[in-house]
Structure 1
Amino acid sequence: MIMVSSVLNLVKRHLGKAALASCLLFSTFANAQTGNPIGGYTYLGTYTIEGQPHYYYLSNAGAFWPIANANATALGGYLATLTSQEENDKVTTWVVGKTGYAPYANSGDYQNINIPWIGYTDAAKEGTWVWANGENCSNFVNWDLETPEPNNFESGVTENYGTLLTFNTTKLGKWNDWFNDWQNRYIVEFGPSPCIPRVGNQGCTLGYWKNHENKWQGYT
């Protein structure tokens, strides 16, 4: 069996850095298909949507939301789109299990790095919340209605980006709008969406990774 590292070295010698970069990206892409390790990220779990497996990873380091979104896209995925209560609950449980972040009842630190970014944003148009990857097939939302959210709470600052609250209270798994002054961890999702029309190489259809020509493994 030829080791992956040997193949990458061969590519580097004969085809150059550009081809090597493509191979490295495909290697990350292939790892994500099976929940294998990705450098800088912790594997959370797998959830099936419309018969297709979706894989979720949590960044080990924090980033501002736009950087987190760009990083997710560069990996061949996208910031998590939580489009059902079941998916939301599973991802919440995974995150809490990996971070161990669960403040006592009736407390919580919104500024904690372990309150991860998700792909929900109204940066393009204030008050119009959309998923960053273009997905639009679900009306599910899980805002924290106690506060209530979204509320642009911070005076003089527009909170344009969604976070998944991991308080061990009634807020567990609820969403909060947050502003781009904090570098939080973020959830990357890999998997096809039936809700994004394919336009050139910027969208996708069933069986395709967003921004990649590669068909989802096992999809026909």
Structure 2
Amino acid sequence: MARFVRRDEPEIMEVNEDHVMRANSVEGRQQAPQKHEGKLYRLVLVSFGLLCVTQAALNISLRLILYNSDVQKLELLKMERDQIKTSNNRLTEAKDQLQTSYNRLTEERDQLQTSNNILRESLCTQTQTYPHCWIEFNSNWYYVSNEMKTWEESRQDCLRRGAHLVIINSKEEQKFLVGLNKRVWIGLTDREEEGTWTWVDGSPLTTAYWGRTQPDDGDGFTKVGTEDCAELNNHYSDPLNKWNDLSCNGKNSWICEKVV
């Protein structure tokens, strides 16, 4: 049996192989850009993701920093508030201690003053020449009381001391008595005859130093009643206008005068 061989088959196969290789080559060249573009896309996505993560981390960090800063500021403010509160409490405590000390000293001063007055009165009762009892002026001696009595009680006290309620005979004596800065009975009255003022030694009033609108005998006020005894009242500013008439039953300090 005869066998026929086709001489052109190898060529055809070669042609087919070349065609396939070229096709694969073209396809490879077409797929290469696609693979490159995919890698680039993935890289972009990864980079974007990293950027997002970085941004989120930065945001969190900033918030933490700001939060910590605010917390520190708040803590500082609390510390300052507590320090101010502590200082205020200390100042209040110191103020209370000072007030307590002041009250104690005031009480002690009053007690000493009371004791001094008691001692002074005791010594004045025992002797009429005790220097703290009597004040000398123009060769006369004056006793200024620390008690308050009615006009008649004051007059009797002066008599027991060998003196009389003060009689004012001159401007100099008036100014001296005003300088003692005390509201006191003086030895002047119109009890015997309304409007006729006489001194306790019976001498008539010749020179007067009445305050403005005085004497007014109570000015008609029923609660006050008649005013028949005279006092030296520092309410008036002019030293030569200091006298005031007052109810003899009122209570005042007084001044005794002893003529030497």
Structure-2-length-normalised TM-score = 0.47
2:27 maps to what in 1? Answer: none
Alignment of 1:47 onto 2:137: yes
Q: Which residue is 2:247 aligned to? A: 179
Q: 1:28 aligns with which of 123, 127, 149?
A: 127
Inter-CA distance 129–153: structure 2 relative to 1 (3 Å threshold) = same
TM-score (norm 1): 0.55
Q: Which deviations, in whole Å up to 9, do the C-alpha atoms of 1:2-41 show, x marking residues without a partner? A: xxxxxxxxxxxxxxxxxxxxxx999634x1xxx6244xxx
Determine whether 1:165 maps to 2:194: no
Alpha carbons of structure 1 residues 185 and 25: separation in structure 2 relative to 1, 3 Å: closer
**Larger relative strand fraction:** 1
CA contact (8 A) 1:165 1:172 kept: no
In the alignment, residue 120 of structure 1 is paired with which amino acid? L
How far 1:134 moved relative to its partner? Answer: 2.4
The corresponding residue for 2:177 is: 91
Cα offset, 1:173, TM superposition? 5.3
Local SS of the residue matching 1:127: coil
Equivalent pairs, count: 135
1:26, 1:180 → 2: CA distance?
Answer: 25
Task: Give, as a single letter, the amino acid of the residue that structure 2 aligns with 1:162.
Answer: A
Q: Which residue of 2 aligns with 1:149?
A: 214
In the TM superposition, residue 188 of structure 1 has moved relative to its aligned partner by: 0.6
Report the Cα offset of residue 140 of structure 1: 1.3
Q: Percent identity at matched positions? A: 27
Structure 2 residue 148 is the aligned partner of structure 1 residue 62:
yes
Give the alignment of 1:63-212 within 5 angstroms.
Answer: 63-93=149-179, 95-96=180-181, 114-136=182-204, 139-144=206-211, 146=212, 148-153=213-218, 155-156=221-222, 157-167=225-235, 169-170=237-238, 174-191=242-259
RMSD: 2.5
Equivalent residues of 1:143, 1:149 under 8 A apart: yes
Q: Which has the higher contact order (CA 8 A, sep 6+)?
A: 1
Q: 1:171 to 1:25 in 2, by over 3 A?
A: closer
CA contact (8 A) 1:121 1:130 kept: yes
Q: CA deviation at 1:168?
A: 6.4
Instruction: Give unmatched runs, 5+ long, in structure 1.
Output: 1-23, 97-113, 192-215
Are 1:123 and 1:160, in contact at CA under 8 Å, matched by a contact in 2? yes
Q: Which runs of 5+ in 2 are unaligned?
A: 1-122
Q: Report which of the two has the higher share of helix.
A: 2
Opposite residue 28 of structure 1, the aligned amino acid is T
Q: Within 2, Cα distance between the matches of 1:128 and 1:121?
A: 8
Would the aligned equivalents of 2:209 and 2:240 in 1 still touch at CA under 8 Å? no
Larger Rg: 2
Counterparts of 2:200 and 2:176 in 1: how far apart (Å)?
A: 21
| Partner secondary structure for residue 230 of structure 2 | strand
